[in-house]
């Protein structure tokens, strides 16, 4: 039998599958590690699993995910096999509340290791929670979006969470599209 642990990404996923580093472990159905291409040049980071994601063990499978997939296809010409999609925390916060700082801190080494193994050129953060966590700021997404930020060897492009776009409609969707076009330019080596 193949030893899955020989691959560092598989080893990390195996470790995450039994993680009890924070209280969210007690309420989860599945650890939502992430999905997509481990050699991707683009990684999306969301907030945390909702009900559908917890049940299916995959990020962004609900309504927000459908919008994300559509914008990904329309603005980047990509699907999930060409990028990687994960979250700031891997277990569902109760009643879809925001993950707490201690929960994000407990999960952060997993996110950092995923990013270190994938080594993307561009990271798109979806919404306030992911953007604030990775940029270590309290500033809101409205102010943060519209430019790219250096993040290690990558460029970080903040955009709205697709759930916010679903709530707010046209203008927010248009701004998300513009942010994805920025990500595409950066992937092509242009500013």
Q: Kindly list the residues in this chain that would bind ligand URA in the complex (CB under 6 A).
A: 46-50, 53, 59-60, 64, 87
Q: Which is nearer to ligand URA, 118 or 165 (CB)?
A: 165
Task: Please name which of 89, 80, 43, 42 lies closest in space to residue 61, comparing C-alpha atoms.
Answer: 80
Q: Which is nearer to ligand URA, 5 or 66 (CB)?
A: 66
DSSP, residue by residue, 136-188: T----HHHH-SS-EEETTEEEEEE--HHHHHHH-HHHHHHHHHHHHHHHHHHT
CB of 100 to ligand URA, least distance (A): 15
CB of 59 to ligand URA, least distance (A): 3
CB of 87 to ligand URA, least distance (A): 5
Residue appearing with tokens 């046209």: 170
CB of 67 to ligand URA, least distance (A): 10
Q: Would you say 75 and 184 are in contact if contact means Cβ atoms under 8 Å apart?
A: yes
Instruction: Report which residue's Cβ sits closest to ligand URA.
Output: 46
Q: Which is nearer to ligand URA, 56 or 185 (CB)?
A: 56
């Amino acid at each position: 039998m193949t030893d899955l642990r020989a691959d560092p990404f598989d080893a990390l996923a195996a470790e995450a599958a039994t993680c009890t580093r924070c209280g969210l472990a007690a309420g989860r159905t599945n650890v939502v590690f992430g999905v997509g291409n481990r050699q991707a040049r683009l990684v999306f980071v969301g907030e945390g699993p909702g009900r559908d994601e917890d049940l299916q063990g995959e990020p962004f499978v609900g309504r927000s995910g459908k919008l994300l997939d559509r914008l990904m296809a329309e603005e980047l010409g990509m699907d999930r096999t060409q990028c990687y999609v994960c979250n700031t925390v891997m277990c569902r916060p109760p009643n879809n509340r925001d993950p707490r700082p201690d929960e994000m801190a407990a999960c952060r080494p997993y996110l950092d290791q995923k990013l270190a193994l994938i080594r993307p050129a561009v990271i798109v953060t979806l919404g306030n929670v992911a953007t604030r966590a990775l940029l270590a700021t309290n500033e809101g997404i409205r102010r943060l979006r519209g430019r790219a930020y250096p993040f290690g060897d990558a460029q970080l492009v903040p955009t709205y969470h697709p759930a916010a776009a679903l709530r707010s409609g046209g203008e927010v969707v248009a701004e998300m599209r513009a942010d994805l076009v920025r990500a595409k330019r950066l992937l092509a080596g242009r500013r």
